[in-house]
Amino acid sequence: MSQNLSSFHAELLGFLKRDVALKVAALGFDEATDPELRKLQQTIEEASSASSEEPLALNEIVEHYHYLFDSRGPLHLEKKLLAAFSSKDAKAERIWIYRGLPRVYRKEAPAVSHVKNHFTNLPIIRLLAAEKAIFRLYSEKRPEEAKVSLFSWIIGDGWGDYIAGMESIEILRERFGEDQQISWVVLFPKRLGSPPAPKAAKTHLIYYDQECPVTSIKGEALEILRTSDLVVQIPTFYPSFDELKSAVERL
């Protein structure tokens, strides 16, 4: 901050700079994909280093700030998400939004909220939306003799994940018929004992104690995943799934 700025100007610019940084962190604004945001950040930086003799465009800075964070509205991320896909996708109802992204509301000010941190990365939510659109294509038809596999990491807090996997298999079997090849690779906590194996799928159980590294998945389990046309990971995301994919690709 320039030493030549008045205390009022310095305090105002400092507030704007901090608030912009907060909104980038909490609301999903991304300077890498938003030229308007980059322009505002650059203008604030330049104004902060200006001498007192130079006129400050404070009105323009404040107007730009309000345009970015007020005029765009609270659903700016949702709008960007829809804009990332073609109008053809929207007309075909492959991409739509039922409700806004998950938000945290302040108890002392219910009208003030911010998008939850895990939902502020636009590339990730674009990927999730595209995946759902792709999955819907499988509801219409499937390739002949296609092999579908489920991959489940059952966390050690109970049987909920396992039951969800069994129900998913039943849904697949009911939808695609008895001739559909369905396999299930399950990482199961040893302390929960021996689970019942569903009759509707070829089940491969891998027991683990505390940790379940990729090195514990080998042999037949890797071969099941390698020969599958579609692998559905459900219900809990396995933290080392990218490493597992690399292991499968090396086969």
Closest CA to 15 of 70, 65, 71: 65
Question: Does residue 170 surpass a pLDDT of 50?
Answer: yes
Most confident stretch, 28-32, 68-72, 190-194: 190-194
Domain boundary residue, one of 71, 90, 118:
71
Question: d(Cα 202, Cα 182) in Å, to the nearest integer?
Answer: 6
Q: What is the pLDDT of residues 75-92, one digit of tens each?
A: 556 666 666 665 655 555
Establish if 49 belongs to a structural domain: yes
52 and 37 in one domain?
Answer: yes
Which residue range forms the structural domain that includes residue 36?
Answer: 7-71
Read off the CATH number of the domain in which 161 is found.
3.40.50
Cβ atoms < 10 Å from Cβ of 141: 7
End position of a domain, from candidates 135, 150, 175? 135
Quote the percentage of the chain above a pLDDT of 70.
63
1-10 burial string, b = 16+ CB within 10 Å, else e?
eeeebeeebe
State the number of CA atoms in the 13 A half-sphere of 47 facing the CB.
25
Quick check: is 90 in a domain?
yes
Considering the domain architecture, whether residues 14 and 49 belong to the same structural domain is answered as yes
Beta-carbon-side half-sphere exposure of residue 217 (alpha carbons within 13 Å):
29
Q: Write out pLDDT tens, residues 98-113.
A: 566 667 776 776 666 6
**Lowest pLDDT segment from 56-65, 123-132, 154-163, 202-211:** 123-132
Shared domain check, 67 and 52: yes
- Residue 50: predicted pLDDT: 62
pLDDT of residue 28: 60
pLDDT of residue 222: 93
Distance of CA 39 to the CA centre of its chain: 27
pLDDT of residue 1: 47
- 64 and 96 together in one domain: no
Q: Is residue 116 part of a domain?
A: yes
Q: What is the mean pLDDT of the chain?
A: 77
d(CA 77, CA 100): 9
Mean pLDDT of 46-54: 66
Domain membership flag for residue 184: yes
Binned at pLDDT 50, 70 and 90, residue 5 comes out as low
- The 10s digit of each residue's pLDDT in 179-229 is 788 999 999 999 888 898 888 888 999 999 888 889 999 899 999 999 998
Tokens 């559909």, residue located: 180
Residue type at 43 in one-letter notation: T
Global pTM? 0.48
In the chain, the number of structural domains is 3
Q: Tokens for 221?
A: 């389990």
User: Same domain for 14 and 90?
Assistant: no
Mean predicted confidence (pLDDT) in 7-11: 77
Out of 98-112, 116-130, 224-238, the most confident range is 224-238
